[in-house]
């Protein structure tokens, strides 16, 4: 996995982008964090945040011009938050001197002169003093913060100002009042000689001291770099009202200028670039997306006593209006992303770090394998981050490095091998034909779930389409693709492509949405259509429904999420059948059933949550056109039917059809092939062994399903034990216990003789390759 690509993907995730209020604040106050504390009534922690960002919290919380409120997302659902009033509430109800920042103990040798003791100059002084620099403030008036002391909107109590100014003593800042820089005693030139850096916070006054060569604008103020606050002199920086002129005064922008000028001075001392990595300095537009349409519009809470500010109760009520702003659109719709408690940027980093491990356990393999690869996250993401593609890439990388536990995908890969073996796979022209204009590829899962529907659909296509309709049974290779086994996947595609060429390159008709997707994405030369589009065009056979099927909710398979034509054809067919389907989601936003990406094998609990979540979207029975979706719903107790149940089904209540389970799925495939060979092509069948009867209770059968143990494998264990006598007898129960390892899995069966067959009492297995693999 390439590091640059990983970094690009991480950058696409916007969850760590700041909320609009924080991005719009010149000093990026953590408004979301502050509101979160206020919502809980924790004013002390709220004050801790305010004090971390504001050097003079009591003053600024009362006079801030709060540009953050202009961009507050709450305005899209009601009125913007009264953020400045909330700041003041933190100070009024949560002030603690112990929460104020403390300076570094180590003193640095550099000395800085601050000219002007306004809000800009004192902010620069405090920030630099906190870093351990010796800082001296020169002020022409008798007191600092002259403009603030004269504040009339409303007037600020002197005691409040003095409380905030205690920080100057704490930091050790020297204030030289009644000292006008420019007099004979103190000039800018003398400061340049005596100090390592100078910050000019002169207010809107022009520079009257010309003792150094300083570039000035037409009004006589220093020309200032708006990013670094540097002037034409390498030691001199400037900001505050000196940058804007007398017509504009913004307390928060004055604080902004002093803070970032201090950053430039510190960088200069460190020998670092003054301009690097400052793209998000000051107010900017965030990339964070917040879906505000889901929130109820609420008015702002106005303080009952404006002069007194919020009461504690009012502040909590107002803070409760904060959403708070997050994206997490993907996490909201995906059980996999929610399961690990974070969001894609962090997952990408964890998975990448896991991929880079040379020695030790690869603990994040399960995380990468749990993704269903359905792509819903990408569909809802404002930045369209392809998390599914990344997870699949990670799987491929781990397989190539030999660091992927085989236990995750061993079972579905062996099931795929069965589907592509002589037990199921075949390719034939239509009986009586030597060429095929069409080739029906039903897929392995429909054949496993409803073999009779495959036979009926093939017969009907043969009757309605001219030019010959061939049949190809097998697996498209999707399980290998999902499992990162590109070697097996390409082998399966190569076999399909070769057989397609041998049959004259006919148009392929698929009945499986995964096969349809695999062919479209990986075999562009194959002309592929969905059977639903074909049936929509040629019409359905006469259908008599056994009962009133309405209402039915339609579930679109995730692999056809963007296939609008296929979805439309399915709905046309349902309408023809007299069904007006209930839509479960907005177009293009269907969810996964929990089978895709082999999720159910890597993390069954998350797969169950995924299908259960989808099942709760409607109380109606479901209809779908994916066999695995239908069977997964049935497995979890959700009444669901396949659309072919309505077309070719013979049961009174097709939604009550049970999940066939893994064992019967393989048996159904083999039985379908033998039936077609016997009844359609009149060819010899695959030899069917005379198998012993197994008596398996529902409890043991469910256990076998959960542990991915097929009844054919149970028979193999018993046959091996009875043939070799490699078994032990439990003296208490009289049962036999036997084991057999036909491949990378060892199976254990507890059984007893029962007539001419066997009763199975327990089954279990361990899935590891001793010495070369890790346990699952």
DSSP one-letter string for 718-736:
HHHHHHH---EE-TTT--E
Give the HSE-up count for residue 79: Cα atoms under 13 Å, Cβ half-sphere.
10
Peptide bond just before 551 cis, omega within 30 deg: yes
Contacts of 651 (CB under 8 A, 6+ apart): 546, 645, 657
Instruction: Write down the pLDDT at residue 249.
Output: 87
% of the chain at pLDDT higher than 70 = 97
- Give residue 183's pLDDT band: very low, low, confident or very high (50, 70, 90): confident
Dihedral angle at the C-alpha atoms of 95, 96, 100, 102, nearest 10 degrees?
170
Query: Among 458-462, 545-549, 604-608, where is mean pLDDT lowest?
Result: 545-549
> Is pLDDT of 600 > 70?
yes
Query: What would the pLDDT profile of 210-246 be if each residue is shown by its tens digit?
Result: 889 999 998 899 999 999 999 999 999 999 887 777 7
pLDDT at 131 over 90: yes
Task: Specify whether the CB–CB gap between 268 and 299 falls below 8 A.
Answer: no
pLDDT of residue 776: 42
Query: 628, 642 in Cβ contact below 8 A?
Result: no
Average pLDDT over every residue of 345-350: 96
pLDDT score, position 775: 42
Query: pLDDT per residue over 63-96, tens digit each?
Result: 999 999 999 999 999 999 999 999 999 999 999 9
- Is the pLDDT assigned to residue 359 strictly greater than 90? no
pLDDT above 80 (res 610)? yes
DSSP, collapsed to helix, strand or coil, labels residue 505 as coil
Q: Do the bridges between strand 757-767 and strand 745-754 make them parallel or antiparallel, or are there none, so unpaired? A: antiparallel
End-to-end CA distance of the chain: 24
Is residue 302 left, alpha or beta, with left meaning phi > 0 and alpha meaning psi from -120 to 50? beta
Q: How remote is the C-alpha of 110 from its chain's centroid?
A: 47
Residues 463-490, mean pLDDT to the nearest whole number: 97
- 111-115 and 197-200 as β-strands: parallel, antiparallel, unpaired? parallel
**pLDDT (tens digit per residue) in 631-661:** 999 999 999 999 999 999 877 788 999 999 9
Contact 61/91 with Cβ under 8 angstroms? yes
Q: What does each C-alpha distance from 752 to 158, 722, 729, 762 come to in angstroms?
A: 93, 11, 9, 11
At 771, is the pLDDT very low, low, confident or very high (cuts 50, 70, 90)?
very low
Listed range (128-137, 204-213, 656-665, 749-758) with the worst mean pLDDT: 204-213
Spatial distance between the Cα atoms of 646 and 359, rounded to a whole number of angstroms: 55
Compute how many other C-beta atoms are within 10 angstroms of the C-beta atom of residue 681.
Answer: 14
Total count of residues recorded for the chain: 776
Q: Is the model's pLDDT at 769 over the cut of 90?
A: no
229, 237 Cβ separation under 8 angstroms:
yes
Tokens representing 251 are 């307390």
β partners of residue 168: none
Q: Decide: 73 and 292 in contact? Cβ < 8 Å.
A: yes
Mean pLDDT of the 737-763 span: 93
Averaged pLDDT for residues 334-359: 94
| Spatial CA neighbour of 81 closest among 144, 29, 121 | 29
At residue 653, the pLDDT reads 86
Reading the block at residue 8, the tokens are 């690009």
Q: What's the mean per-residue pLDDT of the chain?
A: 93
Q: How far apart are CA 385 and CA 377, in angstroms?
A: 7
What confidence tens digit (pLDDT) does each residue in 680-727 have? 999 887 666 667 789 999 999 999 999 999 999 999 999 999 999 999
CB 642 within 8 A of CB 622: no
306: its two tokens = 């404006």
Local confidence band at 549 (pLDDT 50, 70, 90 cut-offs): low
In this prediction, residue 768 has a pLDDT band, given cuts at 50, 70 and 90, of: low
Which range is least confidently modeled, 196-210, 487-501, 517-531? Answer: 196-210
Does residue 517 surpass a pLDDT of 70?
yes
pLDDT at residue 547, as a whole number: 55
* pLDDT number for residue 652: 77
| Ordered alpha helix ranges (H), 3-157 | 3-12, 20-24, 31-39, 43-53, 57-63, 83-94, 119-130, 146-149
Return the SS3 of 66: coil
Region at 282 (left for phi over 0; alpha for psi -120 to 50; beta for the rest) = left
CB within 8 Å of 489: residues ≥ 6 apart: 477, 480, 481
Q: What share of the chain in percent tops pLDDT 90?
A: 86
| Token pair of 327 as six digits | 């994206």
The Cα–Cα gap between 260 and 238 comes to: 10
Alpha-carbon dihedral 627, 633, 636, 639, rounded to 10 degrees = -120
Q: What is the pLDDT of residue 363?
A: 77
- Say which residue, 203 or 462, is predicted with more confidence: 462
Which residue(s) pair with 208 in the sheet?
Answer: none
* Average pLDDT value for residue range 402-426: 94
**pTM, full prediction:** 0.89
d(CA 749, CA 742): 14
The pLDDT, as a whole number, for residue 773 is 45
Rounded to the nearest 5°, which phi and psi values hold at 708? 60, 45
More confident site: 773 or 652: 652
More confidently predicted of 543 and 158:
158
Residue 387: strand pairing partners:
none
CA-closest candidate to residue 329, choices 320, 337, 339: 337
DSSP 626: -
**Nearest Cα to Cα of residue 321 among 11, 685, 31, 611:** 31
At residue 545, does pLDDT exceed 80? no
């Amino acid at each position: 996995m390439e590091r640059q690509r990983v970094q690009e993907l991480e950058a696409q995730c916007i969850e760590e982008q700041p909320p609009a209020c924080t991005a719009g604040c010149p000093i990026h106050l953590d408004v979301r964090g502050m509101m979160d504390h206020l919502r809980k009534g924790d004013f002390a922690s709220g004050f801790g945040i305010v004090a971390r960002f504001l050097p003079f919290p009591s003053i600024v919380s009362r006079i801030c011009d709060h540009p953050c409120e202009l961009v507050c997302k709450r305005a899209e659902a009601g009125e913007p938050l009264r953020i400045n009033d909330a700041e003041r509430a933190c100070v009024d109800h949560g002030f603690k001197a112990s929460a104020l920042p403390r300076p570094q103990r180590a003193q640095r040798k550099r000395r800085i002169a601050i000219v002007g003791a306004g809000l800009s100059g004192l902010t620069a002084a405090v920030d630099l003093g906190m870093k351990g620099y010796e800082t001296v403030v020169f002020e022409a008036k008798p007191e600092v913060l002259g403009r603030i002391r004269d504040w009339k909107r409303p007037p600020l109590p002197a005691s409040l100002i003095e409380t905030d100014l205690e920080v100057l003593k704490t930091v050790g800042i020297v204030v030289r009042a009644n000292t006008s820089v420019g007099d004979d005693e103190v000039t800018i030139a003398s400061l340049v000689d005596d100090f390592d850096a100078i910050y000019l916070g002169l207010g809107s006054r022009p520079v009257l001291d010309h003792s150094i060569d300083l570039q000035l604008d037409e009004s006589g103020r220093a020309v200032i770099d708006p990013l670094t606050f540097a002037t034409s002199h390498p030691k001199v920086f400037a900001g505050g009202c000196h940058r804007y002129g007398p017509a504009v005064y913004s307390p928060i922008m004055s604080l902004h200028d002093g803070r970032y000028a201090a950053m430039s001075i510190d960088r200069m001392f460190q020998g670092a670039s003054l301009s690097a990595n400052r793209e998000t300095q000051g107010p900017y537009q965030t990339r964070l997306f917040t879906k505000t349409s889901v929130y109820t519009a609420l008015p702002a809470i106005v303080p009952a006593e404006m002069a007194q500010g919020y009461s504690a109760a009012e502040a909590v009520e107002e803070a409760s209006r904060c959403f708070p702003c997050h994206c997490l659109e993907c996490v909201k719709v995906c059980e996999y992303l929610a399961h690990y408690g974070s969001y894609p940027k962090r997952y990408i980093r964890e998975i990448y770090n896991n991929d880079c491990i040379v020695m030790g356990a690869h603990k994040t393999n399960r995380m990468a394998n749990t993704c269903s690869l359905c792509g819903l996250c990408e569909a809802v993401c404002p930045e369209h981050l392809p998390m599914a593609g990344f997870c699949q890439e990670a799987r491929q990388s781990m397989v190539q490095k030999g660091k992927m536990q085989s236990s995750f995908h061993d079972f579905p890969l062996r099931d795929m091998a069965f589907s592509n073996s002589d037990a199921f796979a075949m390719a034939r022209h239509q009986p009586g034909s030597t060429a095929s204009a069409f080739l029906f590829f039903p897929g392995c899962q429909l054949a496993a779930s409803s073999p009779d529907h495959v036979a009926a659909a093939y017969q009907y296509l043969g009757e309605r389409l001219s030019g010959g309709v061939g049949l190809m049974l097998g697996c498209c290779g999707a399980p290998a693709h999902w499992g990162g086994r590109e070697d097996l996947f390409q082998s399966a595609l190569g076999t399909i492509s070769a057989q397609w060429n041998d049959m004259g390159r006919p148009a392929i008709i698929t009945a499986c949405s995964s096969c349809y997707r695999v062919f479209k994405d990986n075999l562009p030369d194959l002309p592929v259509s969905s059977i639903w589009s074909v049936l929509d065009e040629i019409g359905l056979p006469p259908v008599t429904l056994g009962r009133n099927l309405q209402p039915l909710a339609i579930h679109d398979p995730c692999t056809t999420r963007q296939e609008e034509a296929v979805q439309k054809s399915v709905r046309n067919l349902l309408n023809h059948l007299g069904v007006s389907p209930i839509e479960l989601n907005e177009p293009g936003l269907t969810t996964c059933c929990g089978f895709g990406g082999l999720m159910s094998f890597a993390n069954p609990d998350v797969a169950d949550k995924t299908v259960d979540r989808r099942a709760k979207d409607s109380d109606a029975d479901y209809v779908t056109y994916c066999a695995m979706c239908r069977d997964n719903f049935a497995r979890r107790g959700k009444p669901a039917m396949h659309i072919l149940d309505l077309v070719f089904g013979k049961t009174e209540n097709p939604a009550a059809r049970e999940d066939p389970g893994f064992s019967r799925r393989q048996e159904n495939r083999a039985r379908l092939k033998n039936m077609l060979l016997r009844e359609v092509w009149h060819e010899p069948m695959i030899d069917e062994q005379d198998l012993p009867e197994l008596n398996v209770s529902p409890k043991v059968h469910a256990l076998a399903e959960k542990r991915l143990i097929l009844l054919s494998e149970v028979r193999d264990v018993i046959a091996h034990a009875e043939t070799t006598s490699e078994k032990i007898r439990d003296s208490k129960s009289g049962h036999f216990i036997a084991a057999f390892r036909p491949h990378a899995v060892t199976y254990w069966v507890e059984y007893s003789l029962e007539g001419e067959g066997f009763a199975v009492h327990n089954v279990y297995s361990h899935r590891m390759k001793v010495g070369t693999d890790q346990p699952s």
